[in-house]
Structure 1
Amino acid sequence: MATIHDVAKLANVSVTTVSRVLNNRGYISEATRTKVFKIMDELNYQPNEIARSLLRKQSNVIGLIIPSVAHPFFSELANHVENYAYELGFKMLLCNSQLDKVKEKDYIEMLKRNRVDGIIMGSHTLQVEEYKNLSSPIVTIDRQISSDIPYISSDNFSGGSLAAELLVNKGCKKIAHICGNLELQLLANQRTIAFQAIMKAKGIEHVIIQTDMNVFDQLQYEQIIHRLFQEHPDLDGVFATSDIIAAFAVKECAAAGKRIPEDVKIIGYDDINAARWMTPEITTIKQPIAEIGKTAVDLIVKQMNVEPFEAENILPISLIERATT
């Protein structure tokens, strides 16, 4: 395997010159730069990225830890983070925690060892102190863990209010809200708080169903919704905290012979791509997934450059009405 010394010898320059070319430091003539890169190609020389990052104290790598890459919201988020980070000259390390505390901690330690420039946290199973002790810039998504650490969330309260009001305005008399486990203390819980407030204000009968602690385990959704309709056959409205859960509700209605939207009206959350692929297409509360990803990267860069930043970043949502209402 070729080394930096081999490149320097064949290019007839010093090792320092090759290092300057690699790290774009100091004055190097264009002729020398071209010659060094040509020799690198000929020798198939691969620079030691860890050594380079130690030298320039920047790795140009951002870590993203998410609960499940299989979940459409997080896969779309990862796609936007990677695209935007790449435009700014960064690579992304994707870590799939599966809401496992041990796995999440292992990934954090790996990112620290690789001296990443920052960590975007979309998974939050560890104690708050684990995040506060990180020396790298950090951004959290949908969870506020410290006044010093910036976080991003969509306007969950407004989203819950819009969904509840639409179902009420459509004439629903008994509405179910299916949400994640409220013990997780996520900002998404504001959707449930808003839903409850509207139901109470309007005097609408309602029921709230929570998932277990593994909120992204889709195997439980079918069982939860099947049991819900068995216990409450007179339900005529469903507000699901994700489009995936809403899709399972559509499936259960079809199995039970309930017409959508005539018998049951359904609203999801997120506006993932699959919400438009369903039949019928799902009415949903749109989270600005691309903007969340972009904002997360921008907040990492601002911390790296010691620039001022907003700790609280609440992004607007919108109602996308489709065939399920």
Structure 2
Amino acid sequence: MSVKLTDVAKLANVSPTTVSRVINNYGYISEKTRKKVFSAMNELNYQPNSLARSLQGKKTRLIGAIVPSLTNPFFAELVSRIEELLNRKDYKLILCNAVQDSSHKERDYLNMLKANQVDGIISGTHNLDITEYQETGLPIVSFDRNLGPDVPVVSSDNYQGGWVATNSLINSGCKKVAFFGNIKGSNNPTDLRLKGYHDAIIEHGLQEILVPMNFYESANLKKMAFQKLLSKHEIDGAFFTDDFSANLFWQYSRFNHFKDCERIKVIGYDGTSIMRQLNPDLSTIAQPIEEIANLLVDLLIKRINHEELSDSNYVLPITLVKGNSI
């Protein structure tokens, strides 16, 4: 006998409407209730009736994308390109905007995508354990995160980006170059930006200046970090691992008239079109967003179609875009 939505509701001790809202990620549902519903679904092996056709070997032509935050211009531009490419291939995108450092939200999205029988997932978040993705049994490709040997990962050349950014500042005369970004190792490709910075600093016999900073921190927290740094160190170069923070520093240091702020050379990272329009003077390491999107979609479609891939790690070249900030 087939399992019905009402069976799930009864086992979870909630209303059928609540089960429907959990499946479709609609409205506010407490974390406790979500866990009860998903636990009941797993126990009963429940599949939504509206997608029963997928159980007959048919595709839903739905793709899930889990990204850290669309407030980041890089991910906003990347997702826009991915959606456009998928649409051309007659796929629809379910976008999941997971907050950085929020494993429960990412888990909810992963469960929701699984319940809705998506054909595959593109992941760009770093919150959940690798096994939770592996247990979905779905075709997955990853951006800038290692999810295991069987999951292809696409990234730009993060090491080269870190090295080129730092070397460019040094070649422009900087002797005290600060690094603003994640300084905690996570065994993911983006860690290599710090490695590139480190190696360039060592090659020139200089001292590291590391400033912990995350894109998702508030502007006020970043400004406090800027003030603390500029009051203690006379830096002459600043490498940021995202353009938004680099632009904030560029504006903050000049607006507040810090000593010799005009001589501090700045370079950011990502090279999105919106940031280039906002501050064309800002130098940046541009990631090939269009090529990244193309490759992510191409690899996922191949995985969905059970085609063999030539590799599991795909690294695309970066480009230095010089502005008046260096």
TM band (smaller chain): 0.7 to 0.9
With normalisation by structure 1, the TM-score equals 0.80
**Aligned AA (1:78):** V
Distance 1:269 1:178 in 2: 11
1:8-30 CA distances to partner (integer Å, 9 max, x unpaired)?
A: xxxxxxxxxxxxxxxxxxxxxxx
**Aligned AA (2:64):** G
Distance 2:174 2:191 in 1: 23
Q: Could you tell me which residue of structure 2 aligns to residue 323 of structure 1?
A: 324
Q: How many Å apart are 1:167 and its aligned residue?
A: 0.5
Structure 1 SS opposite 2:249: helix
**Aligned AA (2:287):** Q
Distance 1:50 1:280 in 2: 48
Q: Could you tell me which residue of structure 1 aligns to residue 4 of structure 2?
A: none
**Aligned AA (1:75):** A
Runs of 4+ in 1 over 4 A off after TM superposition: 258-262
* Unaligned 5+ runs, structure 1: 1-47
Q: Could you tell me which residue of structure 2 aligns to residue 171 of structure 1?
A: 173
Q: Could you tell me which residue of structure 1 aligns to residue 65 of structure 2?
A: 64
Root mean square deviation, CA, Å: 1.9
Matched-pair identity in %: 35
> Closer, same or farther in 2 for the Cα pair 1:103/1:276, shift >3 Å?
same
Structure 2 SS opposite 1:291: helix
**Aligned AA (1:323):** N
Structure 1 SS opposite 2:208: strand
The correspondence of residues 83-94 of structure 1 with structure 2, limited to 5 A, is: 83-94=84-95
Q: Could you tell me which residue of structure 2 aligns to residue 121 of structure 1?
A: 123
The correspondence of residues 152-301 of structure 1 with structure 2, limited to 5 A, is: 152-211=154-213, 215-219=215-219, 220-232=221-233, 234-257=234-257, 262-279=262-279, 281-301=281-301
Q: How many Å apart are 1:194 and its aligned residue?
A: 1.0
Q: How many Å apart are 1:122 and its aligned residue?
A: 0.6
Distance 2:259 2:279 in 1: 12
Structure 2 SS opposite 1:153: strand
Q: Could you tell me which residue of structure 2 aligns to residue 137 of structure 1?
A: 139
Distance 2:196 2:187 in 1: 15
1:185-243 CA distances to partner (integer Å, 9 max, x unpaired)?
A: 3311101111111111101233011126xx422333222222221221x1110000000
Q: How many Å apart are 1:49 and its aligned residue?
A: 5.9
* Unaligned 5+ runs, structure 2: 1-48
Distance 1:257 1:203 in 2: 30
8 Å CA contact retained: 2:183, 2:194:
no
Distance 1:130 1:92 in 2: 21
Distance 1:104 1:188 in 2: 20
Q: Could you tell me which residue of structure 2 aligns to residue 80 of structure 1?
A: 81
Distance 1:180 1:270 in 2: 15
**Aligned AA (2:98):** S
8 Å CA contact retained: 1:142, 1:187:
yes
8 Å CA contact retained: 1:178, 1:208:
yes
Aligned residues: 275
With normalisation by structure 2, the TM-score equals 0.80
Q: How many Å apart are 1:304 and its aligned residue?
A: 1.1
Distance 2:109 2:81 in 1: 21
